[in-house]
Structure 1
Amino acid sequence: MMASDLYAENSDVLAIFFDLDNTLIQTRKADARTCSKLVEVLQQEYGLPQDAAVESATTFLRAFRARPDDDTYGLDEWPAHLWRNSLPKNYRHIAKNISAEWINLRFKNLALTNDVIHLLETLREDYLLGLITNGPSRAQWQKIERLGLRKYFDCLLVSGDLPWEKPDQEIFLEACKKLNVEPRTCIMVGDKLETDIKGGKEAELGGTVWIPLQKDEESSDLPDFTIEKVTELPEVLPNSPKLKRTIAKVC
């Protein structure tokens, strides 16, 4: 079944579910940009040699991506711990300061762009919106609160609070239940084939929209649509002129 055929049969889209990281916010790019800036800070303000600054930031980012939170530490204490383990021994006393700079600069880089804000505000006029994100509860809710995301969504689900995570169909069905909509009337938008797209299909949602993290990434679990960035989403929604033209050609 072609994507246009799918929407021709299920044109009553009521809800759109979004992934968070690397879909609505560019987490990997923002984190890399933040660490790049901290390399400069480590050199200019604390006197680390360039090689040591780069190695420290690279080691930190690798560890943080592998484990963004550890609930045996305070939420802001965990990155400080990772920085302490990443810095050369004679610079570990600055870990707390560098961690504070990491947190502040990171959330500036993670902030929703004006285009994405406009997208969400516009979509809310016609659709229910849900956020479905995998990850540790504290770390994901910190993003949601610090970035002011609550006001854009009718439903927010973080896998760390639940018995399931994407691609388990139950997390998608839970979102449908909270919004009182049928799965066939919902669309899932995300960057990961193995979680967002596979899970959306297994939950029998009305459609899936994939935003590849890398342009050369290939899809085995074929999404119904592929777009380059989330702001292109209106181009593949049922009421868009582009989609109507596609359906007309197929029919």
Structure 2
Amino acid sequence: MNITQTVFFDPRGHAASLLNSQRRPLIPAILNPMLVPQFADVKAIYFDLDDTLCTYWDAAKAGLRKAFEDHPEHGQTPERLLQEWAVAFTGFVETIGKTHWYDKYCESGEITRVELMRRMLERVNIFDDELAYRISHTYHVERQAALELFPEALDVIQQLSSVYTLGLITNGPADIQRQEIQKLNIGNYFPHIFIEGEHKIGKPDERIFRMAEAAVSLPPENLLFVGNSYKHDIKPAQTYGWKTAWIRRDSDVAPSSRTGKPEELPEGATPPDLIIFNLQELLSESV
């Protein structure tokens, strides 16, 4: 028997846990009010995309390694280039929103992806824009090929969509996020999709959450956000009055991570309504 642990916080703020055996088919598919009573008020659910529904960082790391292995002419090991890519990535993403690169990033993932590879190569004293482009192209192709839904995601989406209005709020370039949604074949389940690159507003900006509320004509207390990032998903959704479910997966570790572990709840931070380790844990048992 497979056992999963669900960790949640009751309205009084006390942590609790519930062991659930492998679930039977769920009919009907509703959020589990036994875990979080306030979920009974939820009428619409918005999901994050990358590393919530699909294996973004696993796919990205596989794509990076293949790209570095396929271009040995740079004379560097894949391990060294991955380290340098992580450093370049961290510096780039921390400043991109304040520079001219942001508009380019919103419109196309290719422009900033090539620039990131160029900066990585410069860190090992290689100044070759054409090589940066070729490495970037291989990375993109391999990452998209490796991208897939988590095993339980489609079943959960299908069941919840029969009861709740669903939507996506995802950060990233407009073209890349649309390509991911098409590749994963999930667009039909989400009538409301908000992509940072299409609006030039991303999480945790309050405006993107208010736009999502307006799209479903519901107040925040009737909305649930499910995401993998405390900083970009959970904390802002809490601040704006939404219910929150934080999914934590062991695979959710960027190459640039300083700890090599998934994001932790910051000290003193308000916990989400629910912490899960598998999307299936959102659903109630059938009776």
Common fold, TM-score beyond 0.5? yes
1:75–1:139 Cα contact (<8 Å) kept: yes
Q: TM-score, normalised by structure 1?
A: 0.75
Residue of structure 1 equivalent to 2:6: none
Residue of structure 2 equivalent to 1:218: 265
Residue 195 of structure 2 aligns to which amino acid in structure 1? Answer: V
- Within a 5 Å distance, the mapping from 1:185-200 to structure 2 comes to 185-200=222-237
CA distance in 1, matches of 2:139, 2:201: 30
Residue of structure 2 equivalent to 1:237: none
Residue of structure 1 equivalent to 2:110: 76
The size of the alignment, in residue pairs, is 233
CA distance in 1, matches of 2:54, 2:149: 6
- Identity level (%): 28
CA distance in 1, matches of 2:204, 2:174: 17
Higher relative CO (CA 8 A, sep ≥ 6), structure 1 or 2?
2
What is the root-mean-square deviation of aligned Cα atoms in Å? 3.3
Residue of structure 1 equivalent to 2:148: 111
Residue of structure 1 equivalent to 2:191: 154
Structure 2 portions without partners, runs of 5+: 1-10, 14-32, 253-260
> 1:208 aligned to 2:282?
no
Structure 1 portions without partners, runs of 5+: 235-239, 245-251
> 1:54 aligned to 2:75?
no
2:152–2:278 Cα contact (<8 Å) kept: no
CA distance in 1, matches of 2:224, 2:169: 12
Residue of structure 2 equivalent to 1:17: 46
CA distance in 2, matches of 1:72, 1:10: 39
Q: TM-score, normalised by structure 2?
A: 0.66
1-10 vs 54-63, greater mean Cα deviation: 1-10
Residue deviations 1:55-101, cap 9 Å, x none? 33443354356349765586434433433443463876444333222
Q: Which has the higher strand share?
A: 2
1:197–1:221 Cα contact (<8 Å) kept: no
CA distance in 2, matches of 1:241, 1:93: 55
- What SS is found at the alignment partner of 1:156? strand
CA distance in 2, matches of 1:216, 1:79: 24
Shift of 1:197: 1.4
